[in-house]
Amino acid sequence: MGSVPSGLATRQAAPEALVCAMPRYFLNLRDRGTLIEDPEGDEAQDIAEILRIAQATIDDIFGRPETYGDMRRWNRFSFEITDEAGELVLTVPFAGNGNGVG
């Protein structure tokens, strides 16, 4: 029978290791009466981490007016963050998030 070359180990991962995926959250974009759903979502350890991801995204938008247009219009937007079950876990308004646009 074939042998494993020296230096290579053959180990199978424990079933528990395969099941420990991080939760997925969806940063749905709200503009007044319109909701644009996030089809992919982001993995995050907890709500604090997804809040940091949302804030970084807002900072990126406000930091690139040449890409995203008039920054004043973004103040009416918010992220409605949902979990994998579709439950609303957090709403993050763009206005007042340190973007300096009034």
Q: Where are the domains of the chain?
A: 12-36+75-102
The predicted model scores a pTM of 0.73
For the segment 47-92, what is each residue's pLDDT rounded down to a tens digit?
999 999 999 999 999 999 999 998 888 999 999 999 999 999 999 9
C-alpha pair distances (Å), 34 with each of 31, 74, 101: 5, 14, 22
Q: What is the DSSP string of the chain?
A: ---PPTT----PPPHHHHS-PPPEEEEEEEETTEEE--SS-EE-SSHHHHHHHHHHHHHHHHT-HHHH--HHHHTTEEEEEE-TT--EEEEEESTTSS----
Residue type, 80: E
